[in-house]
Structure 1
Amino acid sequence: MSTSAQPVIKCESVYKIFGANAVKILEQSGGKVDTASLLKAGCVIGVNNASFEVHKGEMLVIMGLSGSGKSTLLRCISRLIDTTAGDIFIDGEDLLAMNAKELINIRRNKMGMVFQSFALLPHKTVLENIALPLQAKGISTRDSMARAMDMVNLVELTNCENDFPRQLSGGQQQRVGIARSLAVEPEIWFLDEPFSALDPLIRREMQDEFLRLQSVLHKTILFVTHDFDEALRLADRIAIMKNGVIEQIDTPANIVLKPATEYVAKFTRGVPRERVLSCRAIMEEYDATAKMSDVTVSDHAIIETVAGSVLTEQNPVAVIDAEGNIVGALNRRIMIDVLFGETNSMPVNN
Structure 2
Amino acid sequence: MSKPKVFVTRKWPASVEAKLKALYDVTLNEDDRPLSADEFKSALQNYDAVCPTVCDSFPADVINVDNKRCKILGNFGVGYNHIDINAAKAQGLVVSNTPGVLTHSTADIAMTLLLMSARRGAEGDRLVRAKQWQGWCPTHMLSSDVTGATLGLIGFGRIAQAMARKAHHGFGMKIVYFKPSPADEYVTDDLNATRCESIEELLQIADYVSLHCPGGEATRHLINADMLNLMKPSAHLINTARGDVVDSAALIEALKNKRIAGAGLDVYEGEPNVHEGFLTLDNVSLLPHLGSATLGTRTAMGEKVLANLAAFFAGDHLPDRVV
TM-score, normalised to structure 1, is 0.27
Larger strand proportion of the pair: 1
